Chains A and B, each alone.
Chain A
Amino acid sequence: MAETGRLRQTATAPLIGPVALVRTAIVLALLALWEFLAHSGWLYRDVVPSLLSIARALARLLSQPDYYYNLGVTAGEIGMALLIGGGAGLLVGLVLGGNRFLSKAFEPYLYYLGPTPKIIFLPIAIMWFGVEAPSKIALGTFSCFFPVALNVAAGMRQIDRVLIRVGQSFRASTLQMVVKIYLPAMRHPIINGVRLGFGFALIGVLLAETRLSNKGVGFVIMQADSTFDMPSMYAMLIVLFVLAIGANALIGRLGGIDTIKRS
């Protein structure tokens, strides 16, 4: 309030920026609303648990070695899914992006099959791969294949043509063209594809875990659900979301993109 008169003074920057203030205000307001709902008795017990109980559940969760084991299981499944699905997507994307004919023949199938919910393929995955890790990885692989392939194919087509001619004018071999020109020129679409692929693989694996198996993050969430341990469920969701968003940002940062907005 004392600042209103000092329009001309630009010497000292505010200690806490206005953006940080607004964010803090919003967070505090939401937390207050939450706590109010928790104690209001309008909703069934524990559907909105008190912040304290969630905090306690969080502390408990993070001190249980079991939870880290489950995190590891899920992470491993996602990693495998990304490796297989992402690798296949990269290859298919390179082929389709580099050949007009093949692209027009087959890319529409990828384009329209891409945005369908892959979880509906779970029964097929179970039939083909059983009820353990392989079918979870299969679902994750299937989920992340499409965004990677489509992004890589599009990326190939967007490469500045002159860069390819430079390579040709210096008589680069095919391998040299791919490694020294195509791949570096496509680093943004590839990273975006991997980011999307990670997100989809994550969803595919998690959802599969909620139905199958007795390990993994999805499983423990269902466990908390079946025992109506809501504070734990909220705690798990919080941890999961923080990790997922963090991983997404990390991939982007590694690829040199500093905003999550591009997708």
Chain B
Amino acid sequence: MSQAASRTSIAASAPRATGLMTLLVALLLTELLIQAGLINRFIVPPPSEVAKAFYRIVAQEHVFRRFLSTAAECFAAGVMLTLAGVSAGLLMQRFTLLQRAVETWVASIAAAPLVIMYPLFLVIFGRNALTIIMMGFISGLPPAILKTIEGISATRKVLINVGRSFNLTATQQFWKILFPAALPTIFVGVRLGLVFALINVVGTEFLISYGGLGALIADLAERYDLAGTYAAICFVILVSVLFFLALEKIERWLRPVD
């Protein structure tokens, strides 16, 4: 039995190892091609230099402080979109007429390139954190609203009937049945909203050259610090990956049996 188990675990890690190996081989190949002069090192810096640049930017560019900046902006945007989004969603679900009138509008907003409004926000809010936070907020709002509506509407009829069979009042019905049942879906909406918020926060920081990590990339690029720019981009990717992993962990914790 343990033989079969160990066989299956090797089989399970083989693909992941292959993926990792492919990545390492690609990096190695890039390094060799650049050193051999076949790839222009002023366009693609050697991975070894990018790795060294990592240390440099951490030491010299106050990366941690910038990270906190970005994180704070995301947090603010996240709190706002959760409160506003879930409340709006609940309101809309409660008043069907409102829902039928406004839901497609919200969905349409989700399909629009909101981030192109950043010059407008710059004018309205100034070149500061507020612009960035607002950008994150409005991009993350639609999914939070839509998923909240979906979550409550999709509560299985039988659960509602259970509540009615116990003669629950409307408020009790809501807090004891509808809301808990909708929570996993609502969290999916909040997670999507947070993801969009992060993307737009970093993106806006880059575009207006203000703030945390996104601005770091813009700065390094402006100084033609090639290796540094690549390193900073890798750093941002790393941060967003960790962020998504954390969100997934929390989501799994919220719905353990699904």
Instruction: Name A residues whose Cβ lies closer than 8 Å to a Cβ of B.
Output: 18-19, 22-23, 26, 43, 47, 100-106, 108-109, 112-113, 115-117, 119-124, 127-128, 195, 199, 202-203, 206-207, 210-211, 218, 221-222, 225, 228, 230, 233-234, 237, 240-241, 244-245, 248-249, 259-261, 263
Contact = CB atoms under 8 A, between A and B. Distances in A.
B9 to A, nearest CB: 14
B16 A104 contact: yes
A210 B116 contact: yes
B186 interface: no
Interface in B173-215: 195, 198-200, 202-203, 206-207, 214
Interface stretch (B28-36, B56-64, B98-106): B98-106
A117 B206 contact: yes
Interface of B: 14-16, 18-19, 22-23, 43, 97-98, 100-104, 107-108, 110-113, 115-117, 119-120, 122-124, 146, 195, 198-200, 202-203, 206-207, 214, 217-218, 221, 226, 229-230, 233, 236-237, 240-241, 244-245
Given A103-B15, A225-B122, 19 more contacts: A22-B98, A47-B124, A101-B18, A102-B15, A104-B19, A119-B203, A120-B202, A120-B236, A124-B230, A127-B226, A199-B113, A203-B115, A207-B115, A207-B116, A210-B119, A210-B207, A225-B120, A241-B112, A244-B113
Given A128-B43, A203-B113, A261 B202 contact: no
A259 B107 CA distance: 9
Could you tell me the dominant secondary structure of chain A's interface residues?
helix
B110 A263 contact: yes
Given A210-B207, A222-B119, A19 B113 contact: no
A260 B236 contact: no
B98 A225 contact: no
A260 B116 contact: no
A116 B19 contact: no
Contacts of B108: 245, 248-249, 260
> Which of A108, A124, A261 gathers the greatest number of chain B CB atoms within 10 Å?
A261
13 contacts: A22-B102, A112-B244, A115-B195, A115-B199, A116-B237, A117-B236, A120-B202, A124-B229, A207-B203, A211-B207, A218-B116, A222-B119, A261-B104
Contact of A47 (B101, B123, B233): B123
Contacts of A115: 195, 198-199, 240, 244
Contacts of B218: 123
Contact of B117 (A47, A120, A237): A237
A101 B13 CA distance: 10
Contact of B206 (A47, A119, A230, A260): A119
Contacts of A109: 19, 23
B241 A233 contact: no
A228 B108 CA distance: 28
Contacts of B119: 210, 221-222, 225, 233
Contact of B97 (A19, A101, A203, A234): A19
B22 A117 contact: no
A120 B116 contact: no
B101 A19 contact: yes
Contacts of B107: 259-261
B88 to A, nearest CB: 13
B10 to A, nearest CB: 13
Contacts of A102: 15
The 4 closest A-B pairs by CB, nearest first: A104-B15, A123-B221, A105-B19, A117-B203
Nearest to A46: B123
B242 to A, nearest CB: 10
